[in-house]
């Protein structure tokens, strides 16, 4: 599986998790405030499970920027590090005294792309109109250009002979497929709480070798608010992006945050530009787990002692493992439990399904792993319990 596919699957899992939490939360809302909801589902013993959320990575060979109708009429430079590139030019929405308005759609036949040092030398191989992009499933008012395979790397000049309103806004995206230059960004998962300090790490590389480059980043909240992100070096010399302070954290139930990173560098006499962005959930620090224990009282249970910083409905999820006849620790079931809580010290009791245990034909020792705590009112994860919890005695 390639990294692009892996990234799409990871994003799909994040959205699916939020969707499932919403369904579970709405179902719980129909219960009484004091009700505890508990359910388990079996897991195949040969399943290859992750014991924690995998790091999320993005590898970008593209960059984008905003421009205006005035600049497109005048001509603007497009740095290219290789011969074969693709450009997407999209109309954007802008604000003025009369409110919001869409930029004038571009005429594909009026677009020009030449070498900056030779305005008479067109490098366009293919033109793709808005109608063709719509047929391909791309929504919006955009057009695309691709360059000739024998084009020399360097600065290009993009322009249009179509008269445009000077203030119209456009977005130009430059894709340099399979370029040696990539912006590599890594996140430790895609769910954060407000007390975490580092959002992501990033580096600009040429054929896998890191290069020196200047980086900037901004954080876009679900309500559209944009804040700058502190960029610094950690002890290992890596570029990291720090979580900006926020008076209010918008929970996942209202949408996802987006981290946008851009970098520019001069390499081998060429200007190298790259952008990357990634969506993630951010939750208020509304609860935390203090201790998790396994016990056998009227069946195997996990007792999760926790602190609720605010009144809410909390949900815990965990994976129970047991020992098979070969003495191997194998997964048995995933169990979820949820309960309404007032602020203060509380506990959740996770009851494991005895029928699933019996059919699994496992015995002690048992282990509970990957315990996560969710705030259902936020639809976000607020804590994890990193160490496995062991129960060594036989079940009666």
Indicate which CATH number applies to the domain containing 265: 2.60.40.1930
pTM over 0.75: yes
E strand or H helix at 230, and its extent? strand 230-233
Domain termination site, one of 128, 155, 175 = 175
94-111 pLDDT, tens digit each: 655 555 668 899 999 999
Q: What's the rounded Cα separation, in Å, for the pair 67 and 91?
A: 10
CATH number at residue 136: 2.60.120.1370
Q: What's the rounded Cα separation, in Å, for the pair 230 and 217?
A: 8
**In-domain check, residue 396:** no
User: What pLDDT does 392 receive?
Assistant: 87
Tell me which residue of 79, 78, 80, 70 sits closest to 103, measured CA to CA: 70
Burial environment of residue 113 by CB neighbours within 10 A (0 to 12, 13 to 18, 19 or more):
buried
**In-domain check, residue 156:** yes
Instruction: State how many domains the chain has.
Output: 3
User: What pLDDT does 82 receive?
Assistant: 93
User: What pLDDT does 100 receive?
Assistant: 64
Q: What's the rounded Cα separation, in Å, for the pair 30 and 324?
A: 39
Burial environment of residue 97 by CB neighbours within 10 A (0 to 12, 13 to 18, 19 or more):
exposed
Q: What's the rounded Cα separation, in Å, for the pair 329 and 317?
A: 19
Tokens of 101: 């308005």
Per-residue pLDDT for 158 more than 60? yes
**In-domain check, residue 181:** no
Domain hosting 362: range is 3-55+286-391
User: What pLDDT does 23 receive?
Assistant: 43
């Amino acid at each position: 599986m390639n990294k692009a596919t892996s990234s799409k699957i990871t994003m799909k899992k994040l959205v699916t998790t939020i969707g499932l939490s919403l369904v579970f939360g709405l179902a719980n809302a129909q219960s009484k405030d004091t009700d505890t909801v508990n359910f388990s589902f079996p897991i195949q013993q040969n399943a290859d499970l992750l014991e924690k959320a995998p790091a999320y990575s993005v590898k970008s060979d593209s960059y984008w920027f905003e421009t205006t109708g005035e600049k497109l009429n005048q001509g603007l430079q497009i740095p290219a590090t290789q011969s074969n590139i693709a450009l997407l030019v999209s109309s954007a929405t802008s604000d003025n005294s009369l409110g919001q308005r869409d930029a004038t759609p571009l005429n594909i036949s009026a677009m020009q792309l030449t070498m900056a040092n030779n305005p008479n030398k067109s490098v366009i191989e293919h033109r793709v109109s808005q109608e063709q992009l719509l047929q391909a499933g791309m929504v919006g008012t955009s057009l695309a250009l691709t360059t000739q395979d024998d084009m020399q790397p360097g600065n290009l000049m993009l322009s249009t002979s179509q008269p445009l309103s000077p203030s119209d806004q456009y977005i130009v995206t430059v894709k340099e497929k399979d370029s040696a230059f990539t912006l590599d960004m890594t996140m430790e998962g895609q769910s954060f709480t407000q007390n975490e300090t580092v959002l992501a790490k990033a580096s600009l590389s040429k054929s896998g070798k890191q290069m020196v480059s200047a980086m900037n980043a901004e954080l876009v909240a679900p309500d559209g608010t944009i804040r700058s992100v502190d960029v610094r070096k950690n002890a290992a010399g890596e570029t990291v992006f720090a979580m900006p302070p926020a008076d209010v954290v918008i929970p996942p139930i209202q949408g996802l945050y987006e981290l946008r990173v851009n970098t520019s560098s001069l390499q081998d006499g060429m200007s190298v530009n790259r952008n990357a962005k990634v969506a993630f959930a951010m939750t208020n620090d509304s609860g935390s787990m203090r201790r998790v224990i396994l016990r056998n009282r009227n069946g195997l249970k996990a007792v999760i002692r926790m602190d609720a910083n605010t009144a809410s409905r909390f949900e815990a999820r965990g994976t129970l493992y047991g020992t098979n006849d070969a003495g191997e620790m194998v997964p048995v079931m995933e169990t979820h439990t949820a309960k309404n809580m007032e602020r203060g010290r509380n506990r959740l009791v996770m009851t494991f399904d005895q029928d699933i245990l019996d059919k699994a034909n496992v015995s002690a020792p048992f282990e509970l792993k990957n315990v996560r705590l969710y705030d259902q009112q936020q639809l976000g994860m607020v804590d994890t319990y990193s160490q496995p919890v062991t129960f060594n005695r036989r079940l009666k």
